Structure 1
Amino acid sequence: RLSYERQGKTNSTAMLGPIRKGLSVLIVVLCAISLMRNLGFDVTAIIAGLGIGGVAIALAGQKTIENLFGGISILMDQPVRVGDFGRFGTTMGTVEDIGLRSTRVRTLDRTVVSIPNAEFSHMRLENFEKRDKFRWLSQLGIRMDASTDQMRLLLMQIKELMLSHPMIYKDPARVRFVSFGASSLNIEIFAYVKASNHNEYIAVVEDMNLRILDIIRNAGTDLAYPAQTLFLERGAGISKEKVADVEKRISQIKEQDGFPQPFYPSSWAEDKYDTLDFPDSVPDR
């Protein structure tokens, strides 16, 4: 018991009580049979009766026994623990209790689902608590009238942002112009976030999204809006001043080192690692 507790397997210690009681009953029965035999009683009929009765009980309680052994395997192997959040078959929620017959899961709708242990132990169990980082996959739709130089600048600056952000893993930190949409030029962003929980993850993603929106607007373009009809634009439209400024910056980049796409050499990337300011932890709520 102390060994399990030192390993943090508190659920396993809960099984020791029922196991101890079961072994005690078995020892008492065997001792009684042995004593009766020593006193001269014929125990053959008793043993045969116990065997037949055991078979009958096993057949009648087959599901109960399956659930019992399923619960023991869950508690000993510990694919999940009480308090873990995950997806269990088609159910998503937090494990509230692992009993001898069933496991109770509190769903996102705050209902409680009881799953028999025999069924639970054969499910596909996805434990979100044990992941070491969070995947971030996002797709941006840029206006179709964005120039190729604007797209190159967007790709370069978003890549630079990902490398400079201290909460983004540098490998892989991928940003690519992947496809042409019906009304957009599609950029895909893929990276892993250094987060210990979901709240911290969405805080980092929010920060990245706001910074990316600034990059898009400062490049003289914008996010695309679904459109399949001809329309007359009476608003401000794309800023000609910003377009001219972007073209000037692009020509400067071309004259100096050129664009780093498509492979972003280490000589360009290394001096950008973790250069942005970002809080070390999420404040308590």
Structure 2
Amino acid sequence: MEDLSGALVKLQEYLNYVILGIPLYRLALALLVFFSFLFLRKLFIFIILRYVRKLTRKTETKVDDIVFRVFSRPASFIIVILGVALSLKVLGIENSAVFRVLKTLGIFVVFWALYNLVVAFEEYFYRFAERFGREFAREVGGFFIKVAKAFVLVVGGVAVLQEWGINVSALLASLGLGGLAFALAAKDTAANLFGGLTVLADKSMRVGDWVKIGSVEGIVEDIGLRTTKIRSFEKSYITVPNQFISNQPLENFSRREVRRIKMTLGLTYGTTKEQMVKILNDIREMLRNHPGIAKDQLLMVYFTDFGESSLDLFIYCFTNTARWSEYLAIREDVNLRIMEIVEKNGSSFAFPSRSVYVEKLPKPEENA
């Protein structure tokens, strides 16, 4: 009995041994609590999550599968944070800064899950945006997604600041001149935001359109909250503020259904009247019957001017396609047929030239 009591005394001495101001038994108990929560996390993952996953797979809707996938990892991380918090309680650590850090981590996990939820439901945002028109579902849906992400980030940031005792509204009010500068800076941001809303509401352009805004021309790659991204034909990446777009004329080349052919041809002055009339009629007939020329658009072929070195023909018509490659193929075929018509009628194309007439040559003796 004496040996047993002596062992208990020694054990008590060991357990009461102080390391960094903390008794050894508290350290052991804190470790036990922490590892118990790690075990609980494993149990949560392998039993509860598997059971919930089986239930979600049996349902017809995909919403519960998305929610499960989004919240499974944050939930397991929350268990670890709770384990750390209780372990610190057992150790007797009552430092408010430490627990604020843990609460901040908890807030971060919650808003991390909400942010991932927005990402996971992107498809549903696009489906909702189809109510505004299928043609602009991508642009409107992308706009809603960016607004939702920004909202989650802003609210999460405010929640973290509030946790650390920072009153955001009072902070902005106390900035004085800094708050005024912030408001002035935010003015442009708000103008760009409403400019983006105006672009989407007017449906003036969409991703993939070929547009010209002021001196900027290219293909629209993204319509954002603040800016619109355009890829120029030189492959440079241009970022245009939405405020600029809403205040500038916007030319959308992709919205046209036809493309114009406009040219002036010069025939030689040796072309007779009969040849000219025949050439004009043949070109008109060719264009009217050409499969690539729009029949419901304006078509003009006229002898317009006596040029310095040519008889000028004006040709004006439209192709029945707006696609650039098809337009070039049609225009090439039209040019070749015009060449054939001119050659067939015995005329030729003029080129810039100038004739010099010498009224009187000097006598040989005058040159001596």
What's the TM-score bracket when you normalise by the shorter of the two chains? Answer: 0.5 to 0.7
Aligned to 1:147: 272
Aligned to 2:353: 227
Unaligned residue ranges in structure 2 (runs of 5+)? 1-124, 157-166, 358-368
Cα distance between partner residues in 2 of 1:22 and 1:159? 59
3-state SS of 1:172 partner? coil
- Residue 136 in structure 1 maps to residue 264 in structure 2: no
- Structure 1 or 2, whichever has the larger Rg, is 2
Change (3 A) 1:22 1:99: closer
- State the Cα distance separating 1:128 from its structure 2 match: 0.9
TM-aligned CA deviation for residue 24 of structure 1: 7.9
Q: Pick from 88, 98, 114 the counterpart of residue 213 of structure 2.
A: 88
Judging changes above 3 Å, is the alpha-carbon distance between structure 1 residues 99 and 230 closer, same or farther for their aligned structure 2 residues? same
Written as runs of structure 1 = structure 2, the 5 A alignment for 1:27-42 is: none
User: How many residue pairs end up in the alignment?
Assistant: 214
Aligned to 1:67: 192
Q: Which amino acid aligns with 1:10?
A: R
Corresponding residue SS for 1:229 = coil
Alpha-carbon distance, 1:164 to partner: 1.4
Shift of 1:169: 2.3
- Distance verdict in 2 for CA 1:21–1:115, change over 3 Å: closer
**Which amino acid in 2 is paired with 1:131?**
R
The answer for the alignment partner of 2:324 in structure 1 is 198
Instruction: Report the RMSD for the aligned CA atoms in angstroms.
Output: 2.9
Aligned counterparts of 1:21 and 1:109: Cα–Cα separation in 2: 33
1:174 Cα deviation after fit: 1.3
Measured after TM superposition, the shift of residue 109 of structure 1 is 1.3
What 5-or-longer segments of structure 1 have no aligned partner? 29-45, 232-285
Cα distance in 2 for partners of 1:187, 1:101 equals 49
TM-score, scaled relative to structure 2: 0.52
Deviation at 1:114, TM superposition (A): 1.1
1:20 Cα deviation after fit: 4.6
Q: Is the 8 A contact 2:217 2:232 kept in 1?
A: yes
For residues 37-71 of structure 1, give each alpha carbon's deviation from its aligned partner in whole angstroms, at most 9, with x where no partner exists.
xxxxxxxxx9x959957984533411122112212
C-alpha offsets along residues 81-101 of structure 1, whole Å, 9 cap, x if unaligned? Answer: 111112111111111122222
One of 184, 201, 226 as aligned partner of 1:76: 201
Matches within 5 A, 1:233-252: none
Question: Could you say which residue in structure 2 is the equivalent of 1:124?
Answer: 249
Could you say which residue in structure 1 is the equivalent of 2:141?
13
Distance 2:344 2:294 in 1: 25
Give the drift of 1:27.
10
Q: 1:279 aligns to what?
A: none
Contact 1:84 1:95 in 2 (8 A): yes
* Bigger strand share: 1
Give the Cα separation in 2 of the matches to 1:3 and 1:77. Answer: 18
Conserved? CA contact 1:172–1:192, under 8 Å: yes
Residues 229 and 240, structure 2, Cα contact 8 Å, conserved in 1: yes
- Aligned partner of 1:4 among 129, 137, 142: 129
SS across alignment from 1:169: coil
The correspondence of residues 141-220 of structure 1 with structure 2, limited to 5 A, is 141-170=266-295, 171-220=297-346
Q: Is the Cα–Cα contact under 8 Å of residues 292 and 330 in structure 2 kept in the other structure? A: yes
Partner SS for 1:221: coil
Whichever residue aligns with residue 99 of structure 1, its letter is G
CA deviation vs aligned residue, 1:215-267 (integer Å, no higher than 9, x gap): 10111110001111259xxxxxxxxxxxxxxxxxxxxxxxxxxxxxxxxxxxx
Q: Matches of 1:18 and 1:203 in 2, distance apart?
A: 41
1:79 shift after superposition? 1.1
TM-score w.r.t. structure 1 length? 0.67
Separation in 2, partners of 1:26, 1:177: 68
The structure-2 alpha-carbon separation of the partners of 1:24 and 1:108, relative to structure 1 and needing over 3 Å to count, comes to closer
Cα separation, 1, equivalents of 2:153 and 2:344:
78
Amino acid at match of 1:124: P
Alignment of 1:101 with 2:226, yes or no, is yes
The percentage of aligned residue pairs carrying the same residue is 33
Relative contact order: is structure 1 or structure 2 higher (C-alpha 8 Å, sep ≥ 6)? Answer: 1
